[in-house]
Amino acid sequence: MSWDVSLYKFTRRYKTIEEIAHDEQPLSLGSLSEVQAAVSEIFPGTDWSDPVWGIYDNEFGSIEFNVGKDDPVQSLGLHVRASDAVVVGILNLCERISCQAIDLTDGSFLDQSEFPAAGLAKWREYRDQIIGKTGG
């Protein structure tokens, strides 16, 4: 269970998902090594033991980076279990590789949101309800 975000590079910056043309083809985020380097620059210490699945873990929580097997990388999936503090890093990563992050809980772009951590807060609330119900 995680807050899931997908990173894509489009031909232009969009404000809403509805603006994306049906024939829009996302651009490459870069080579596998370029994407790994960008992630590691923003999230130092990311473990790339598995080159297609990076794991970042620190006092704020964890993020799993799923880059897939394509090289160049077409999209980047983030599985976030952390505090709101990591959202700034996600936005910095988007700026670094010139892409946009889509919050998969509501389909919004993080960079266009007044409160980009809203989906993460909802996820934590849901997680806490589940943990409370199971006594764990």
| pLDDT tens column, 35-86 | 999 999 999 999 999 999 999 999 999 999 999 999 999 999 999 999 999 9
pLDDT at 12: 95
Cα 119 to chain centroid distance, Å, stands at: 12
Of 26-30, 105-109, 120-124, give the lowest mean pLDDT range: 120-124
Q: Pick the residue with more confidence: 131 or 33?
A: 33
Q: How many separate domains does the chain show?
A: 1
Averaged pLDDT, 8-27: 95
Joined tokens for residue 40 = 């590691």
What confidence score (pLDDT) does residue 127 get?
83
- Across the range 84-109, mean pLDDT stands at 96
**The tokens of 76 are what?**
């980047």
Range of the domain at 82: 3-134
pLDDT-derived band at 134, boundaries 50, 70, 90? low
CATH number (domain holding residue 90) = 3.30.310
Maximum distance among all alpha carbons in the chain?
48
Closest CA to 51 of 29, 30, 66: 66
The backbone torsions φ and ψ at residue 44, rounded to the nearest 5 degrees and listed phi first, read -60, 140
Confidence of residue 125 (pLDDT cuts 50, 70, 90): confident
